[in-house]
Structure 1
Amino acid sequence: MKVFISADIEGTAGIASWDETNKGHADYTYFSRQMTAEVNAAISGAMKSGASEILIRDAHGSARNIDPSALPDCVRIIRGWARDPFMMMQGIDASFDAVVFTGYHSPSGRGLNPLSHTMTGDIFSLKINGELVSEFLMNAMSAAYYKVPVVFLSGDAGIAKIARDKVPGIETVVTNTGSGSSVDSIHPAKVVRLIEEGVSRAISNGSIKPMTLPEKFEVEIVYIEHTQTHRLSFFPGVEKADDRTLTFTESDYFEVLRKLLFLL
């Protein structure tokens, strides 16, 4: 069995400030270790349930957050950014049997995490066919493009609910519950234990199906700054709906990702 793990940091246990997500800040060191511990727990859970090949995608910021030396020597890890349209899912293909997300967070436009955002801090919201898009949904659709199911997610309470509503039967672990600029977090060691147990159950389940992609993708991006909307309105294939909104339509999800690579 082959498992793909995409790991972010804004949904790791206890995280509450952008300083804790960025290299160069004193608080970052602790949370990069916790991110690594949560990924390790996911690896352990997958291996316990028969995973023989695991690929890790370090998918936050510089994409150089996870300590590779702390991982078992049977896994591979993608670090850094290739500017690949699959972005946080670089490396995914039809050979995988399951996808696992760790450290995920609520999207732009939702006040469910002090660090809520979708790919960048430059947008207020991203919608596809009228539905608010989180990094979870964006990346779950990337997995669905190759007909691979997403079976597990850990992160804040907001994104866990979004995942459960979108993927019936998905295993989730709630690390934090956000309120304004604060989070209510369970103990980091307990999170690690719950992730290992949850991933093990999820991989053993085997009944979760890949998401079904729509036939058409009507994309709406609302930017925070009108100047950015104006500049990006000259990108081929997009229309300027108003001073802060760009739209475009595609029938192939890869073409959506190709545009988002430049528009986000």
Structure 2
Amino acid sequence: MKIYVSVDLEGLPGISTLSQVAPGYPLYGDARRIMTWIVNVLADEFSVLGVDDVVVADSHGFMANIDYIDVDERVRLVQGYPRPFSMVLGVEEGFDAAMFIGYHAAAGTTGGFLEHTYSSRVIHRIYVNGELASEYLLNALYAGEHGVPVVLVAGDEHLRSQVEKHTPWAVFLPLKKGYGRLAAMYESKSLVEQKLRKAVREAVERLKRGKAQPLKPNGELELRVELRDSLYADMAQLLPRAERLDAYTLRYRAYSARDALAFVELVAWIGYAASAMMEKMRG
């Protein structure tokens, strides 16, 4: 059995402050240890269940957070940024299932801890076919388009309703509950580990029983991407098939989930470039 795991940071227990989320911040080392510990718990449980190939995509920030020296030897790591298809690079390479761990709520979710969708600096909100979209939804559609079902999602409680709506066959495990952008509640490390192991066992069992199915787009996907600066829209509106709706908003009709995710990534990268340009102009 071959399992793909995408691990983000904001939806993990023990993550409670901006001081943890990026290199150079005073508590970033704590975040690395938490992320690596979670990956090792997963790897250990997979070995018990007979999963013989585990790929873990480091999917937060610059995507080099998991400690390579301390990670379980049974794990193959995907690290580094920027990379095509970001949090799910390689999921199309013949995996039986995907698991999304440490995922957070969509940008615009009231109460979601550090809620955002792909780029908190560039993107205000994203809607897919009129629905507020999370990274979970965009990534599940991409995986599903390649025949890979999502069987476990673990993260902020605020993500539950979207998971239950789009992938009801997937196990949802709340690892924390956001009480605002910078406040969350979570259980002890030992209890989190017990529940995570149980959730992995249940997800693999559902997969073996044929309960899981890929989430595939039903026709075109209409994206509405609201940006945080009109300059980002000035530049990104030049992308093929992008339609400028107002100062901050682009509409894009995607032919596939791959097309949709590529557009979101390109808009984010253009926004990063614009932001860097403005900093340079300020001297």
Give the TM-score of the pair, scaled to structure 1. Answer: 0.94
Pairing 1:1-264 to 2, within 5 Å after superposition: 1-84=1-84, 86-121=85-120, 122-180=122-180, 181-206=182-207, 207-264=211-268
Is the contact made by 2:45 and 2:200 (CA closer than 8 Å) also made in structure 1?
Answer: yes
Which runs of 5 or more structure 1 residues have no equivalent in the other structure? none
Deviation string 1:212-252 (CA, Å, 9 cap, x unpaired) is: 31211111101122222222212222010111110111222
8 Å contact kept, 1:113–1:158: yes
Q: Which has the higher contact order (CA 8 A, sep 6+)?
A: 1
Question: Aligned AA for 2:219?
Answer: E
Q: Which residue identity lines up with residue 211 of structure 1 in the other structure?
A: L
Deviation per CA, 1:159-193: give whole Å up to 9, x if none: 13321222113112212111123111111232122
CA distance in 2, matches of 1:26, 1:156: 24
Q: CA deviation at 1:259?
A: 1.9
Distance 1:49 1:163 in 2: 24
Q: Distance in 1 between matches of 2:111 and 2:152?
A: 20
CA distance in 2, matches of 1:248, 1:204: 38
Amino acid at match of 1:6: S
Q: 2: distance between equivalents of 1:168 and 1:158?
A: 15
RMSD: 1.5
Greater mean deviation of Cα atoms: 208-217 or 228-237? 228-237
State how far apart, in whole Å, the 1-side matches of 2:176 and 2:82 are. 31
For the residues of structure 2 that align with 1:191 and 1:216, how far apart are their CA atoms?
A: 39
| Percent of aligned pairs sharing the same letter | 27
TM-score, normalised on structure 2? 0.88
Give the paired residue count: 263
Task: Specify every segment of 5 or more residues in structure 2 that has no aligned partner in the other structure, as ranges.
Answer: 269-283
8 Å contact kept, 1:45–1:197: no
Structure 2: distance between partners of 1:92 and 1:212: 14
1:240–1:247 contact (8 Å) kept in structure 2: yes
The letter for the 2-side match of 1:202 is A
Deviations 1:13-40 (A, max 9, x none): 0322222111111211112111111122
